[in-house]
Chain A
Amino acid sequence: MTSGDQMDSASPADEQILAAIEAAPAVAPPRIVPGGPTTAATAIAGAATSQASAVKVSAQAVNISYGAKLAVRDVSLDVSERSILALIGPSGSGKSTFLRCFNRMNDLIPGARVDGQVQLDGEDLMHPEVSVVELRRRVGMVFQRPNPFPMSIYDNVAYGPRRRGNSNRADLDVLVERSLTRAALWDEVKDELKKSGLALSGGQQQRLCIARVLATEPEVILMDEPASALDPVSTLRIEELMRELREAYTIIIVTHNMQQAARVSDHTAFFNMGEDRAGYLVELGETATLFTKPQNQLTEDYVSGRFG
């Protein structure tokens, strides 16, 4: 069963999304091309106001392979703006690999190849003229292991903006404070911004990494098991933070923790590893539905803890 089938049988709101997918590529000119950040920003704002729950990112018939090995087979799904999509599934089901096609981090792996359509605001982000630098500014990423740079807290947060040539101290001060505040870390670190980011606790480090992403003012945030290396209290803080960030950002999170998926996400996609060892999408649905009334037996077995 593909996600397309489910979309067809879904609510009118989802049909609106479908209509939006079909309309978007036609009306939206390429926007992630080099040199166009300002036009991109205005175009996004326009899109956001005209369509309340527009599709933010979409994957159509995506296949990802490493060399001869197929890692992800034929995945199609859409993520609507300002929502959280959780990708769950057993190890090897291709969740993380799939996540990385949205900011083209798979480009970094020699021999990796992504086929199919991946779109951000209806624009093909696999297009050869797409600037991955601009794409990654708009689609931020938080990694499994907290990985702050070995720099001060301030420099960590200012890293992204500085690389884009913003060196105005006053601007950066504002941006750093705002990003750390949004990442719920400001109160804990405001008096020691010069301290090394590595001196923070694991949970704080991960919030620093989130602040660092927020400082680049992204629209989409990808999170690859962001809490798996953290203690339960830090995990809850990250989850709370995700619910808050959802007001302004589109979030896709990979998680092994089903409770976490159930707690934070609006939609959940269940991935499994096929007999050919390639990951594929089994079922996609609203989180509450997927966990309580899954349509697929495999999903039911997985969410009830019978395998995986």
Chain B
Amino acid sequence: MTATPGPTSLRRTRSGRTIVADRVATGVLWALGVFVIVVLGAIIVHFIIASIGVVSFSFIFGDPSETELGGVGPLIWNSFYMLALTMAIAVPFGLLAGIYMAEYAGDNQVTSAIRFAEEAISSVPSIVVGLFGLIVFVNLTHWGFSALSGALALTMFNLPLMARLSEQALRAVPADERSASLALGATKWQSIRHVVLPLAIPGLVTGIILTSGRVFGEAAALIFTAGLATPTNYDYLNFNIFDPQSPWSPLRPATTLAVYIWKTNSEGLSQYAAQIGDGSSAILLAAVLVFNVAARFVSRRLTRRLTAA
């Protein structure tokens, strides 16, 4: 060994350059983080401020109007209705596909082609999905512009996304837990049902949140499928789903809030277009936030109940 290390040797093990590099890296990452937060914060603050004076009880619950500010009640309803309809299709099928891909399908060229397709389809430009929906779900089916056509178009990219994210959530469950279950004489399905799925809940909920976020925000795919008609006079107590006048019917045009923002601001017919846009955006942001928080809350409760964690 060389010279006896003095009492300060500990402080000299790292050269000045390493320390500088470390500080620069920390600084850059910190600055990028702050930048992202500031941009997000600015968007939120902008819409909060812009929506002051616009968002009121009558704006949230009232009917839209061509001559006045009007409200967005039926459009909020349609957004949630489309969300429920899309998720009712995408979640069960996506989850089952994910289970199949994670637990049953082998690792071969077919499954890797499927995985590639899932990722590719879920990132197809939504206007393309909208045109496809127009041909298949609107014209071919003779349904016309309808909530169901819109929901099916949204399913086009939500289903593969949900399948891919569920597969990843299931694969993230430690192999130990599966082995333990199988070694106790549980069947494969019992192991999935009682051990793997409960452990995958947080990941599955992330999948649901990511896919549903697209439903709230999607406009292009819905313009050609769910329609642009301005909805008024919804009778929410008409539960006859076969009556095209009923807001519960899937076979009626269903303009969502995001589509309405696009419509009012591109048509330029309403002099309140900017205010409607600001107010609707604030409501959209709030709706997404409420949905995410609620989903996390349910996820935590469910996980606790199923796993005693």
Chain A residues within 8 Å of B, Cβ to Cβ: 103, 105, 108, 110, 133-137, 140-141, 143, 145, 147-152, 155, 159-160, 163-164, 194-198, 209, 212-213, 216
Contacts and interface: CB of A to CB of B under 8 A. Distances in A.
Contacts of A163: 184-187, 190, 194
Contacts of A147: 174, 176-177, 179-180
A209 B183 CA distance: 11
B15 interface: no
Given A110-B106, A195-B308, A198-B309, A150 B184 contact: no
Interface in B177-211: 177, 179-187, 190, 194-195, 198-199
B300 to A, nearest CB: 14
Contacts of B109: none
Contact of A160 (B106, B107, B184, B308): B184
B182 A196 contact: no
Interface string B249-290: 000000000000000000000000000000000000000000
B262 to A, nearest CB: 45
A105 B182 contact: yes
Contacts of A145: 176
A209 B186 contact: no
A98 to B, nearest CB: 16
B185 A133 contact: yes
> What 5 pairs between A and B have smallest CB-CB spacing?
A137-B185, A150-B307, A152-B308, A141-B183, A147-B176
Nearest to B175: A108
Contacts of B180: 143, 147-149, 209, 212
Contacts of B190: 163
Interface string B147-190: 00000000000000000000000000010110111111111001
A152 B307 CA distance: 7
23 contacts: A105-B183, A133-B185, A135-B185, A136-B183, A136-B184, A136-B185, A141-B183, A143-B176, A145-B176, A147-B174, A147-B177, A148-B180, A149-B180, A149-B181, A149-B195, A150-B177, A151-B308, A160-B184, A160-B185, A163-B185, A163-B187, A163-B194, A216-B184
A150 B183 contact: no
Residue among B106, B186, B199 with the highest chain A CB neighbour number at 10 A: B186
Given A150-B198, A212-B180, 8 more contacts: A103-B183, A110-B106, A143-B176, A143-B179, A147-B177, A148-B180, A149-B195, A163-B187
A213 B179 contact: no
B307 A151 contact: yes
B192 to A, nearest CB: 12
A67 to B, nearest CB: 13
B6 to A, nearest CB: 38
A164 B185 contact: yes
Nearest to B184: A160
A196 B199 CA distance: 14
A148 B177 CA distance: 8
B111 to A, nearest CB: 13
A303 B182 CA distance: 35
A198 B190 CA distance: 21
B309 A196 contact: yes
Given A145-B176, A149-B177, A150-B198, A140 B183 contact: yes
Contacts of B308: 150-152, 155, 194-197
Contacts of A137: 184-185
Nearest to A142: B183
B184 to A, nearest CB: 4
B182 A150 contact: no
